[in-house]
Amino acid sequence: METSKQPPPEDRAWPKGDPHEFMRTFLKIESAYHNHKEQMTYVIATLYLAGAGYILKAEQIPFSSDRSFLFASLVIAIAGIAFVVWQLTNRRGAHVNVTAAYRLLSRWHTTPPTDDDLRPEATDSTYGRYSWPRALVLEIPKAREATWSDDRGLLVAEVLTIVVLVAVGAAAVARVFRGG
């Protein structure tokens, strides 16, 4: 008799429903959030590079002698980079949550979760304070550690994105300050 297919008993820590279904839903939400953050990052980075590229290639930069334009260009450059860094950080958080959820689903596929695994536990997440199954809360730090040690490609892509934005943005701001 398969215990993972049976509904949890009334006294079980999990309030309602199937823990596997919770994890599958969690995965869908986190995956969608991850994709949204990735899309936002690269749309903003592309627009940022297009604007900086225009400034670098333009024959004459309009308003380049206006002090408020100089200040605005510096603020926009800093804000654009900060926004991209923020989106990349949120994307990495979603990546960690997806990794943790996949690990738990894989484990629960062969070994049903215990009552302790399903006990709600408060956690601070990217989205605020939530109660998630204890097993997920405990798996997230392990997934975060694995992300830093195993996912070098993810980190290299983030660092390269930021370095390119800073370099191109600094060159554009310098050109604006030189007077175009």
Question: What are the structural domain ranges in the chain?
Answer: 19-178
Cβ-based neighbour number of residue 34 at 10 Å: 19
Q: What is the pLDDT of residue 166?
A: 94
Residues for the chain: how many in total? 180
- As to burial, measured by CB atoms within 10 angstroms (0-12 exposed, 13-18 middle, 19+ buried), residue 16 is exposed
Q: What is the CA radius of gyration of the chain?
A: 23
Q: What is the pLDDT of residue 87?
A: 92
Q: Rounded to 5 degrees, what angle do the CA atoms 134, 113, 142 make?
A: 50
Q: What is the pLDDT of residue 4?
A: 47
Q: What's the Cα-to-Cα distance from 131 to each of 17, 44, 105, 110, 127, rounded to whole Å?
A: 15, 33, 18, 25, 12
Q: What is the pLDDT of residue 26?
A: 85
Q: Where are the beta strands (DSSP E) in the chain?
A: 120-125, 128-133
DSSP for residue 65: T
Per-residue pLDDT of the chain (180 residues; tens, 9 = 90+): 444 444 433 444 444 567 878 888 888 988 899 899 999 999 999 999 998 998 888 887 776 667 777 788 888 889 999 999 999 988 888 888 899 999 998 898 899 898 899 888 887 765 667 788 899 999 999 998 887 766 677 778 888 999 999 999 999 888 877 765
